[in-house]
Amino acid sequence: MAHFALSTRTLVPEDPQVHALADAAGVHGVYVRNALELGEGDGFLLLERNAPRGLCWFGPRGNLIVVVHGEVEAVPVADAIQRTRLPWRIAMGPAAILDVLRDRTVTRPLLHRDQVYYACRPEAAVRELVRDDVRPAQRADRDRLGQATLLLNQSDLNIDPARVDRRWLRDSIDERIEDGSTRVLGPIGAPECKLDFGSDGPGGLMIEGVFTFPAARGRGLASALVATCIAEAASHRVCLHVGEHNLPARAAYERAGMVEVDRCRLLLLA
Q: What is the pLDDT of residues 151-197, one digit of tens each?
A: 999 999 999 999 999 999 999 999 999 999 999 999 999 999 999 99
DSSP string, 226-237: HHHHHHH--SS-
Pairing of strands 259-268, 111-120: antiparallel
Question: Which of 2-16, 85-99, 255-269 is the least confident region?
Answer: 2-16
Q: Are residues 145 and 171 in the same domain?
A: yes
- Does position 49 have pLDDT exceeding 90, yes or no? no
- Could you tell me if 134 and 82 lie in one domain? no
Using one digit for the tens of pLDDT, what is the confidence trace for 61-91?
Answer: 899 999 998 888 999 999 999 999 999 999 9
How high is the pLDDT of residue 24? 83
Note the pLDDT tens digit of each residue in 128-142.
Answer: 999 999 999 999 999
Answer whether residue 270 is part of any domain.
Answer: no
Do 159 and 258 fall within a single domain? Answer: yes
Confidence of residue 51 (pLDDT cuts 50, 70, 90): confident
Same-domain status, 64 and 191: no
Q: How far is CA 38 from CA 56, 60, 157, 203, 245, in A?
A: 17, 12, 28, 12, 33
Total domains in the chain come to 2
Q: How far apart are CA 57 and CA 239, in angstroms?
A: 19
In a domain, residue 85? The reply is: yes
The per-residue pLDDT for 2 is 46
42: in domain: yes
Strands (E), 49-192: 51-58, 63-68, 90-93, 111-120, 135-136, 182-185
240, 28 Cβ separation under 8 angstroms: no
The reply to whether 217 and 96 lie within a common domain is: no
Cα(65)–Cα(209) distance, rounded to whole angstroms? 18
DSSP 8-state class, residue 121: -
Backbone phi, psi, residue 158, to 5°? 60, 30
pLDDT classification of 4: cutoffs 50, 70, 90: low
Range of the domain at 55: 6-104
pLDDT tops 60 at residue 1: no
Rounded to 10°, the helix 16-24/28-38 angle is 150
Instruction: Say yes or no: 59 and 133 in one domain.
Output: no
Which of these three, 37, 69, 104, is where a domain ends?
A: 104
> 139 and 232: one domain?
yes
Pair 241, 151 in one domain: yes
More confident residue, 24 or 217: 217
Q: For residues 127 and 237, state if they share a domain.
A: yes
Question: Both 58 and 125 in a single domain?
Answer: no
Domain membership of residue 47 (yes or no) is yes
> 153 and 90: one domain?
no
Q: Which pLDDT value is given to residue 3?
A: 52
Q: What is the pLDDT of residue 151?
A: 97
Residue 94 lies in a domain: yes
Confirm whether 135 is domain-assigned: yes
Q: What is the CATH number of the domain that holds 188?
A: 3.40.630.30
Average of per-residue pLDDT across 219-241: 96
pLDDT at 208: 96
Domain boundary among 42, 69, 104: 104
Last residue in a domain, options 78, 104, 130: 104
Pairing type for strands 204-212 and 238-243 reads parallel
pLDDT at 180: 96
Q: Indicate if 231 and 140 belong to the same structural domain.
A: yes
